[in-house]
Structure 1
């Protein structure tokens, strides 16, 4: 297996894991118990605002709509730990250089809400306690630096691993656990030197749900492993299921670039750019840079202005 020569990408991994925390709970669930797509037994309910936020963010790729729904749900559903994690994600993706002090209280709220949830729902409580510790560790590394922040971040990492282990002891094949843990494992395995991602890919493929997020996650992993044919196959499946999502079109454009097909990439860069106002600042700026660089390589006018 050929792995691209790249260092550990802190920002990419933070956003990937935050995203994993977001989509794991919310996909497709209605306010009634019958809506849980992960569990056929013992389904969980979420509020309509949480469902709206999730669908706007991950199905449609519309972050302003997602943020409005999250802000409503944070008050309406004060015990749900996924919501402050989602808010932290939105802040991170809007501007990862200036929003860390705003990010911090939502990271802490995620952990505190989750710790309370352990009493009544230990599985989900441990899952989101792990997410909260991860977010707090990310804050420490980003604000204090790798050297100064390492001891606290390592302590947080131990808490992450312990809580995921506690959740796995309760229900090792639980879909919600496996989409969060699976996405974390997948992104870390792809980005860490000397890691073998095969097991993580296999588990993610077997247990992750819903399908469009599974295919999207696999496409990212295969892209970073320089297995571009596999990446293209997976992103096509994701695009079939979410044809209006600009992030999925952006991902397909990136894979074309990795294949050296810069001309082919431009169609999908332009389609993503047409919906730039749906995207947060960090993604929008990166999309513009990559789009215009691909155009210059293909000797074409820069289309993303």
Structure 2
């Protein structure tokens, strides 16, 4: 149960770290979320963002983030995501604990910098404070266990929602806000079965105002998959793949949807395609794809 909850919280972590609100020089500004009134984000941080979520290349993201921008909350959040993934895939207990401590440090830094950011940009500052809180909830899940940890985790999620609600009051149509909140709501309502959000509202956010589309469509595909609406899930993941065809995690996601649709034979080439880029994925993800591929091959052989 603890490992399961940690994995699901890791999904929320990977959702939250999509938040952008940079303190970088406007001359280097690029905003993948907004076409009007863009916020500033440094070339380096944007490259790390795209390496993870557009390319599915965690190796490249790690290299970029080793030269990360110390005043950008997103940089710390992305480093937290990488540390958490490495923690999940590590077998040496000493190294595992070191990675967990590293993850906690990045969670704290994300929240601390967000508090400063809120003074100049309340919307993004509130978003990043929510990010830091959810990162810290992931640390709690990994260290406290189910009985002791869940009350604190639920309290953290409620606190995070207060910051998200504060951001929404500032600009309810902000595409970054609707992407993040939509993904969180969908995860809580479909995967964790927590009564903190509505899948219908989350889907509407992702369909109508969230950007970039390849991330929103990926979120929709996961949500529809978990709601067992497989035709819609396939349509959403195909939309994401058209925009980000080189992301092995999208091929893996489509394979999962096909498996749940009992189309095991069709899923096998997609699992195999994802594994052609194993060197750029976290080890824990590679092992999971390999395991699901073997299961699909066994099921297909039985038909």
TM normalised by structure 2 equals 0.88
Q: Report deviation, 1:94.
A: 2.4
Structure 1 portions without partners, runs of 5+? 1-6, 301-305
Q: Report deviation, 1:30.
A: 10
Q: Following superposition of structure 1 onto structure 2, how do residues 53-92 of structure 1 map, counting pairs within 5 Å?
A: 53-73=48-68, 77-92=69-84
Find the counterpart in structure 1 of residue 122 from structure 2: 122
Please say if residues 8 and 191 of structure 1, whose CA atoms lie closer than 8 Å, have aligned partners that are also in contact.
no
Find the counterpart in structure 2 of residue 51 from structure 1: 46
What is the alpha-carbon distance in structure 2 between the residues aligned to residue 192 and residue 126 of structure 1? 24
Q: Report deviation, 1:31.
A: 6.3
Q: Report deviation, 1:151.
A: 4.4
What is the alpha-carbon distance in structure 1 between the residues aligned to residue 122 and residue 87 of structure 2? 34
Q: Report deviation, 1:150.
A: 3.8
Matched, 1:290 2:282: no
What is the alpha-carbon distance in structure 2 between the residues aligned to residue 152 and residue 119 of structure 1? 28
Q: Report deviation, 1:250.
A: 0.7
Deviations 1:107-139 (A, max 9, x none): 101100101111111111111001101111221
- Alignment length (residue pairs): 290
Q: Report deviation, 1:32.
A: 3.8
Q: Report deviation, 1:291.
A: 0.8
Deviations 1:25-64 (A, max 9, x none): 28xx996476324334432111121011111111111110
Q: Report deviation, 1:192.
A: 3.6
Q: Following superposition of structure 1 onto structure 2, how do residues 261-276 of structure 1 map, counting pairs within 5 Å?
A: 261-276=263-278
- Between stretches 106-115 and 171-180, larger displacement belongs to 171-180
Structure 2 portions without partners, runs of 5+? 91-95
Find the counterpart in structure 1 of residue 152 from structure 2: 152
Please say if residues 29 and 42 of structure 2, whose CA atoms lie closer than 8 Å, have aligned partners that are also in contact.
no
Q: 2:219 aligns with which of 217, 220, 232?
A: 217
Please say if residues 257 and 265 of structure 1, whose CA atoms lie closer than 8 Å, have aligned partners that are also in contact.
yes
Question: Structure 2 vs 1, CA of residues 50 and 179 (structure 1 numbering), >3 Å: closer, same or farther?
Answer: same
Please say if residues 33 and 43 of structure 1, whose CA atoms lie closer than 8 Å, have aligned partners that are also in contact.
no
Find the counterpart in structure 1 of residue 104 from structure 2: 104
Find the counterpart in structure 1 of residue 93 from structure 2: none
What is the alpha-carbon distance in structure 2 between the residues aligned to residue 52 and residue 171 of structure 1? 26
What is the alpha-carbon distance in structure 2 between the residues aligned to residue 119 and residue 140 of structure 1? 28
Q: Following superposition of structure 1 onto structure 2, how do residues 190-269 of structure 1 map, counting pairs within 5 Å?
A: 190-193=190-193, 196-269=198-271
Q: Report deviation, 1:200.
A: 1.5
Please say if residues 130 and 160 of structure 1, whose CA atoms lie closer than 8 Å, have aligned partners that are also in contact.
yes
What is the alpha-carbon distance in structure 2 between the residues aligned to residue 30 and residue 298 of structure 1? 54
Structure 1 segments, 4+ long, off by >6 Å, are none
Please say if residues 104 and 136 of structure 1, whose CA atoms lie closer than 8 Å, have aligned partners that are also in contact.
yes
TM normalised by structure 1 equals 0.88
Find the counterpart in structure 2 of residue 3 from structure 1: none
Please say if residues 130 and 164 of structure 2, whose CA atoms lie closer than 8 Å, have aligned partners that are also in contact.
yes
What is the alpha-carbon distance in structure 2 between the residues aligned to residue 243 and residue 119 of structure 1? 39
Question: Structure 2 vs 1, CA of residues 40 and 240 (structure 1 numbering), >3 Å: closer, same or farther?
Answer: closer
Question: Structure 2 vs 1, CA of residues 32 and 13 (structure 1 numbering), >3 Å: closer, same or farther?
Answer: farther
SS in 2 for 1:105: helix
Q: Report deviation, 1:182.
A: 1.2
Please say if residues 28 and 42 of structure 2, whose CA atoms lie closer than 8 Å, have aligned partners that are also in contact.
no
Question: Structure 2 vs 1, CA of residues 31 and 243 (structure 1 numbering), >3 Å: closer, same or farther?
Answer: farther
